[in-house]
C-alpha cells in the first residue's frame, strides 16, 4: 500500500481560539509529509509557509520557527499546488488526521481546489488499541513506544514519527479485533470558503 503521512505546524495565539468570532486565528506555517510504500519511506516534502503576520512567541518557542525563517517563504496559496502535486491521489495518514485535514482542505477550497481523500488516523487507532493511557498525544505515544523524535513540533519530523507510530501500532495490534481501524476510510469534511467553525468544533 502506498500512502502519504503529513503534519502541519501553525501560527496561533496561546489560547488558539477567538471566542467572540468562533474563528481559529492561526495559519499554516509549515507542511511536512513523507510518502510510504511497502513499509518504507520513499519521498519527502517539507515547506515553510509565510503566514503574512508575525509569529507568536509561544509558537516560536514551541517549534523553533522564527519570523526570519519565513520571510522569503511562499504563502499558503503559492505552496499548496506543490503539496498537492506531491500527494497526488494517495491515501493519507496522520495523527489526529481529521483536524489537520479539515484546515488543509479549507485552504485548498479557498484556492478553488478539491481535496477528497481516504485516510487513516493513528490517534483513533491508539485510543482503541491502547485503552487507559494518560495521554494520546503524538509525543506521549512516541514515549510509549520509545520512538525518537528529536525535532518534535516540526512538521516533517512529526510526520516521520507518525509513520513509526503506525508501524508499532500495526505490529502490536493488527489481528486483535480492531483491523478495520487500519483500513483507509473516506475522510468526511464539508467546508465552505472562509467559513467559521461550528459550536461542536469549538468544544
φ and ψ of 137, to 5 deg = -65, 160
Express each pLDDT in 109-137 by its tens digit: 999 889 999 999 999 999 999 999 999 99
Closest listed residue to residue 27, CA positions, set 57, 60, 49, 58: 49
Strand 185-186: give its sheet, edge to edge: 40-48, 27-37, 2-11, 91-94, 118-121, 185-186
Mean pLDDT, range 85-94, rounded to an integer: 97
Identify the bridge partners of residue 118 per DSSP, sorted by sequence position: 186
Is the CA virtual torsion 48, 53, 59, 65 positive or negative?
A: positive
Is the CA virtual torsion 158, 78, 116, 106 positive or negative?
A: positive
d(CA 13, CA 191): 23
Q: How confident is the model at residue 14 (pLDDT cuts 50, 70, 90)?
A: very low
In the predicted model, is pLDDT for residue 176 greater than 90?
Answer: no
Mean pLDDT, range 18-43, rounded to an integer: 80
The model's pTM is 0.87
Per-residue model confidence (pLDDT) at position 16: 45
In the predicted model, is pLDDT for residue 39 greater than 60?
Answer: yes
Residue 8, all three cell numbers: 502541519
146 catalytic per annotation: no
Per-residue model confidence (pLDDT) at position 197: 52
Per-residue model confidence (pLDDT) at position 198: 55
Mean pLDDT, range 14-39, rounded to an integer: 72
In the predicted model, is pLDDT for residue 43 greater than 90?
Answer: yes
Catalytic residue among 2, 146, 151, 153: 153
Express each pLDDT in 149-161 by its tens digit: 999 999 999 999 9
Amino acid at each position: 500500500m502506498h500512502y502519504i503521512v503529513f503534519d502541519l505546524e501553525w501560527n496561533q495565539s496561546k489560547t488558539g481560539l477567538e471566542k467572540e468570532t468562533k474563528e481559529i486565528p492561526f495559519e499554516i506555517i509549515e507542511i511536512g509529509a513523507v510518502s510510504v510504500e511497502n513499509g518504507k519511506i520513499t519521498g519527502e516534502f517539507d515547506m515553510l509557509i509565510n503566514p503574512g503576520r508575525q509569529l507568536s512567541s509561544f509558537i516560536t518557542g514551541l517549534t523553533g520557527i522564527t519570523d526570519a525563517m519565513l520571510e522569503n517563504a511562499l504563502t499558503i496559496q503559492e505552496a499548496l499546488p506543490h503539496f498537492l502535486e506531491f500527494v497526488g491521489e494517495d491515501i493519507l495518514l496522520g495523527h489526529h488526521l481529521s483536524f489537520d485535514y479539515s484546515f488543509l482542505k479549507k485552504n485548498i477550497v479557498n484556492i478553488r481546489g478539491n481535496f477528497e481523500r481516504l485516510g487513516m488516523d493513528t490517534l483513533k487507532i491508539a485510543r482503541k488499541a491502547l485503552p487507559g493511557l494518560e495521554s494520546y498525544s503524538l509525543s506521549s505515544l512516541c514515549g510509549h513506544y520509545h520512538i525518537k523524535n528529536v525535532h518534535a513540533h516540526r512538521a516533517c519530523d512529526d510526520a516521520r514519527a507518525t509513520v513509526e507510530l503506525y508501524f508499532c501500532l500495526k505490529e502490536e495490534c493488527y489481528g486483535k479485533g480492531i483491523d478495520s481501524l487500519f483500513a483507509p476510510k473516506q475522510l468526511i469534511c464539508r467546508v465552505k470558503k472562509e467559513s467559521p467553525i461550528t459550536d461542536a468544533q469549538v468544544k
